[in-house]
Chains A and B, each alone.
Chain A
Amino acid sequence: MSDKEKLFQERFKRYTVALECGKPDKVPVVFPLGEWVVKYTDATLQEVYYNVDKSNEIIARTIRDLDFDVMFGGLNLWWPPMFDGIGCKLYKFPGIYFEENAGFQYVEEEYMKAEDYDEFIANPTQWLATKYLPRICEEFAEPGSYRAIVALIKGAAAFAMHNDKLAKAGEKWAKEYGIVSAITGMTKAPFDTLGDALRGTKGILLDLRRRPDKVLAACEAIVPHNIAYGMITAAGDTSLPCFAPLHKGAYPFLSLEHWEKYYWPTLKAVIEGLWALGKRTFFFAEGDWTPYLEKIAELPDKSIVFCIDLTDAQKAKKILEGRFCLYGGVPTTLLTYGTPEEVKDCVKRAIDELGSDGGFVLAAGGVVMGDAKRENILAMIEAAREYGVY
């Protein structure tokens, strides 16, 4: 076993012991990849978005001399050629629509109409393939046409190619730099699947008043798919948690009554379904989830990693500690607007308050954005090593 392979095993153990609420030798520390990295290179965002190999080279140069355990995020969430190939309307990327250093934008619409609920609920996968894809992809406007067939070939090929490149990069970083991935696979709350990409924010909020039974039925229909999607995208791995970016469940987007009735039951069902298969959920609680902590505590012990963004950390500790691993401690805003000294103080405080008994992973509380400062990120991981020894 090479030194790097030993280092990987050491870091993997450190991370997974914390996920199990145990006390490892040190507090595991997470390096947050994000668009912020690009501004410290001579590359443009467009190049990084489009050229996966170049993006991976930049990541390798960025991380190879740093001491951290786990890596989270990426320089880009999406590979634009895949979207270009099918004429996908969901996103606009730098290069075609924006100048080459602009970030991507999501174009939210009611891609699923209110009258589509019954057909979607009856057979979700078929509805997505035959109705949704032609609506979101200009090249599929005439299903069965030359353009549509060619576009489908391109889209599927791009999907497989991009996934393969990401998988190989992960293997390389593990082998050559001893770095552990924070997650494997992805899932969502069914309410977010429905509200983000199908009905849209306006659509689903109106539905809560006009057709609440349809919302419930659709969310219930999505549950088994979000369990299956999590396991398929994780390639069956159960050693690392499944990423679940949670959107419309953050307080106070929904009233407590709506949250308890429409958001929580099916998210809980997805988490419990994954847990029954041995897969822990990376409960990426962007925003504030403080009012819901007692409900979250109903989940099976250790079935989630709870990520603290704007949630009250002390209350999270009081209610969840010992039952679920806590993750976070450093606000993303501090990484942008703070100083290295302030970041170091924050890390020390987070470790003292949240990590003294184990079951804690030191990380940024959310997605680190393009305006974060490198000196603050470096201060975060250096301070974690300085203060994070048990």
Chain B
Amino acid sequence: MADNKIKSFIPEAGTCVPWKIKKEEFGKLAGNEEIVKNSWEMLDALAYAFIWFWVQR
């Protein structure tokens, strides 16, 4: 991110920062990508639910 790798994107429903965007920013992952991906998506979904919570009253 320090190298201005952040891209402009429109997140699809259910996501805030989709894994495919974040993966590009990470570049090649040295370890198990699936573990990183699953955790990323779990927290991303929580953030998404938090943002939309305020209009789903």
Binding site for B on A (CB under 8 A): 88, 90, 106, 122-123, 125-126, 128-129, 132-133, 136, 155-156, 159-160, 186-188, 193, 196-198, 224-229, 231-233
Find out whether the CB atom of B14 lies under 8 angstroms from the CB atom of A232. yes
**Minimal beta-carbon separation of A282 from chain B (angstroms):** 14
Name which of A188, A225, A227 has the most chain B CB atoms within 10 A of its CB. A225
Closest residue of A by beta carbon distance from B57? A197
Write out the residue numbers on chain B whose beta carbons fall within 8 Å of the beta carbon of A160: 46
Cα A159 to Cα B46 in complex, Å, equals: 9
What class of interface size applies to chain B in its complex with A? 20 to 34
Could you say which of B12, B46, B55 contacts A224, with CB atoms under 8 Å apart? B12
Cα A193 to Cα B13 in complex, Å, equals: 15
Find out whether the CB atom of A227 lies under 8 angstroms from the CB atom of B13. yes
- 10 tightest A-B CB contacts, nearest first: A228-B14, A224-B13, A228-B13, A197-B55, A225-B13, A123-B10, A159-B50, A232-B45, A229-B52, A129-B51
Cα A228 to Cα B11 in complex, Å, equals: 12
Closest residue of A by beta carbon distance from B55? A197
Assess A159 versus B53: contact at CB under 8 Å? Given A125-B48, A228-B48. Answer: yes
Write out the residue numbers on chain A whose beta carbons fall within 8 Å of the beta carbon of B57: 90, 106, 196-197
Write out the residue numbers on chain A whose beta carbons fall within 8 Å of the beta carbon of B52: 125, 128, 225, 229
Write out the residue numbers on chain A whose beta carbons fall within 8 Å of the beta carbon of B10: 122-123, 126
Write out the residue numbers on chain B whose beta carbons fall within 8 Å of the beta carbon of A129: 16, 51
Indicate if B54 sits at the interface (CB-CB under 8 A): yes
Assess A188 versus B56: contact at CB under 8 Å? Given A126-B10, A224-B12, A231-B14. Answer: yes
Find out whether the CB atom of A229 lies under 8 angstroms from the CB atom of B50. no
> Secondary structure of the B side of the interface?
loop
Binding site for A on B (CB under 8 A): 10-16, 45-57
**Minimal beta-carbon separation of A359 from chain B (angstroms):** 29
Find out whether the CB atom of B51 lies under 8 angstroms from the CB atom of A232. no
Find out whether the CB atom of B48 lies under 8 angstroms from the CB atom of A136. no
Closest residue of B by beta carbon distance from A221? B13
Find out whether the CB atom of A229 lies under 8 angstroms from the CB atom of B54. no
Write out the residue numbers on chain A whose beta carbons fall within 8 Å of the beta carbon of B54: 88, 90, 128, 132-133, 136, 197
Cα A229 to Cα B57 in complex, Å, equals: 12
Find out whether the CB atom of A125 lies under 8 angstroms from the CB atom of B11. yes
Write out the residue numbers on chain A whose beta carbons fall within 8 Å of the beta carbon of B15: 125
Write out the residue numbers on chain A whose beta carbons fall within 8 Å of the beta carbon of B55: 128, 132, 193, 196-198
Assess A133 versus B51: contact at CB under 8 Å? Given A122-B10, A225-B13. Answer: yes
List 13 contacting pairs A-B, 8 Å CB cutoff, sorted by A. A123-B10, A126-B10, A128-B52, A128-B55, A193-B55, A197-B56, A224-B12, A225-B13, A226-B56, A228-B13, A232-B14, A232-B45, A233-B49
Cα A136 to Cα B55 in complex, Å, equals: 10
Write out the residue numbers on chain B whose beta carbons fall within 8 Å of the beta carbon of A225: 13-14, 52
Cα A128 to Cα B39 in complex, Å, equals: 24
Cα A225 to Cα B53 in complex, Å, equals: 11
**Minimal beta-carbon separation of A207 from chain B (angstroms):** 16
Cα A90 to Cα B54 in complex, Å, equals: 9
Write out the residue numbers on chain B whose beta carbons fall within 8 Å of the beta carbon of A186: 56
Write out the residue numbers on chain A whose beta carbons fall within 8 Å of the beta carbon of B51: 125, 128-129, 133
Write out the residue numbers on chain B whose beta carbons fall within 8 Å of the beta carbon of A226: 56
Cα A88 to Cα B45 in complex, Å, equals: 22
